[in-house]
Amino acid sequence: MVTRNTNLSRRQFVGNVSVAASSILCGYPQILLAQAADLAERQRALNLLEAQPSFDLHCHPGLFFTKGLPRYPGPEAVARKVDEMLTGRLWGGFFAFVSDMKILQRDGGRLRASRSFEPGEAWAEYERQIVTVKELSEVVPVGLATQANELEAIPSQGRVAAFVACEGGDCLEGQVGRLERLYADGVRSLQLVHYAQNELGDLQTEDPIHGGLSQVGREVVQEMNRLGIVIDLAHASFATTRDVAELSDAPIILSHSALKHGAKQHPRLLDPDHADVVAATGGVIGMWPLGYANDTFAEFVDNTLQLVDLVGIDHVGLGTDMGSSYRSVLDNYHQLPDWTAALLANGLSESDVSRLVGGNAHRVLREVL
């Protein structure tokens, strides 16, 4: 946990220091002092992001996996987002394709499966989408990464380190042996469930059908541990997450979510016990900047600090869901330095912030891959 004054919150402490400084410098125009402080904090953030690896635990840049479909925004959209990553100083991330995309539709403002997959259909969709992943490095400045050290090696060549993630285990169709093919294809993170109910476990957004992790889900977890594939529990129910945490030999991630608070009670958000289960494995939760959890950028920063206070500085990261996000308050990577600067301005040390922007994710990559 971050070291805290037992009598003052972090923001109270920083506020008191600011008041004291203002009284000393009262002869200077306050607006100029504030602007100078903002510029100095942003420069600190830029320097930190230049020196320390940053990582997005969940992103869909330019919806690359929709190539060949009517909704594909075109290669220009992919190129723009990767350029944002470079100029925003993002070193790497889990580039996620969506296993159940073909059967999803909007239902009263929420995504749900419109039907079940036909036999073999989910695997065929996987084979279509994995091709789009492998083509990325041919059209934009990314390098497909499979080892933890590539988070530093690939950016040194002026490219973004793209670790491949599969959002939803639907493509396995209950066949554990297919994980070897995913691993051979370069997949290094598998999110067990998404919006369609599958054979592996229960979702946050649907009624339970397995009572947590299923038997085949248990076999999948054990095989992912053996191969070295990161287990992602985003979208998984508390019971599923608890069961995986008890079984897994490796840290798990929950790539994109946030704590429930106030009126923000969307089922995709987390109760404290849910977050604690992930942290107890040595895992990391990616802070999610979507409108389900945040109305403003400032609220996103505050929610990041609340999660840090709950689970500890070593168990929080960033999971933007970039590319398919709902009312995101961090909707481009040019805001990454802003988030970094805001965390510094709220009293976190540079060492702590380096963990949040990518150090914690990098640790999990080193422990699992």
Domains of the chain by range and CATH? Answer: 51-368 (3.20.20.140)
pTM: 0.90
| C-beta of residue 316 within 8 angstroms of C-beta of residue 21 | no
What is d(CA 243, CA 201) in angstroms, rounded to the nearest whole number? Answer: 10
Residue 30 has pLDDT above 60, yes or no: no
Label residue 16 by pLDDT band (50, 70, 90). Answer: very low
Determine how many CB atoms are found less than 10 A away from the CB of residue 105. 10
Cα–Cα–Cα angle for 188, 193, 195, rounded to 5 degrees: 130
Instruction: List the structure tokens of 237.
Output: 């129910």
Mean pLDDT of 292-311: 97
Label residue 29 by pLDDT band (50, 70, 90). Answer: low
Mean pLDDT of 122-130: 97
Residue 11 has pLDDT above 90, yes or no: no
Question: What is the Cα 222 distance to its own chain's centre?
Answer: 23
In 3D, which of 254, 263, 211 has the Cα closest to residue 235?
A: 254
Label residue 79 by pLDDT band (50, 70, 90). Answer: very high
**247-262 burial, b if ≥16 CB within 10 A, otherwise e?**
ebebbbbbbbbbbbee
pLDDT of residue 36: 59
Question: Residue 67 has what DSSP assignment?
Answer: T
The residues near 87 (Cβ < 8 Å, ≥ 6 apart) are: 333, 334
pLDDT of residue 111: 87
Label residue 220 by pLDDT band (50, 70, 90). Answer: very high
Instruction: List the structure tokens of 278.
Output: 């992930």
Mean pLDDT of 27-54: 78
Question: Residue 270 has what DSSP assignment?
Answer: B
pLDDT of residue 301: 98
pLDDT digits (tens, 9 = 90+) for 138-178: 999 999 999 999 999 999 999 999 999 999 999 999 999 99
pLDDT of residue 273: 98
pLDDT of residue 15: 44
Helix (H, G, I), strand (E, B) or coil at 95: strand
The residues near 71 (Cβ < 8 Å, ≥ 6 apart) are: 63
Where are the alpha helices (H) located in the chain, listed in sequence order? 10-24, 30-51, 75-87, 121-134, 136-139, 150-153, 178-184, 215-227, 238-247, 272-280, 297-311, 336-345, 350-354, 360-368
| C-beta of residue 93 within 8 angstroms of C-beta of residue 57 | yes
Q: Whole-number mean pLDDT of the chain?
A: 91
pLDDT digits (tens, 9 = 90+) for 355-367: 999 999 999 999 9
What is d(CA 226, CA 250) in angstroms, rounded to the nearest whole number? Answer: 10
What is d(CA 128, CA 36) in angstroms, rounded to the nearest whole number? Answer: 51
pLDDT of residue 1: 37
What is d(CA 78, CA 60) in angstroms, rounded to the nearest whole number? Answer: 9
In 3D, which of 98, 31, 96 has the Cα closest to residue 253?
A: 96
Instruction: List the structure tokens of 282.
Output: 């040595």
What is d(CA 32, CA 218) in angstroms, rounded to the nearest whole number? Answer: 59
At 369, the amino acid letter reads: L
Residue 25 has pLDDT above 60, yes or no: no
What is d(CA 170, CA 192) in angstroms, rounded to the nearest whole number? Answer: 8
Question: Residue 58 has what DSSP assignment?
Answer: E
Label residue 2 by pLDDT band (50, 70, 90). Answer: very low
What is d(CA 319, CA 57) in angstroms, rounded to the nearest whole number? Answer: 5
Residue count of the chain, please give it.
369
The residues near 259 (Cβ < 8 Å, ≥ 6 apart) are: 269, 270, 271, 272, 275, 293, 303, 306, 307, 310
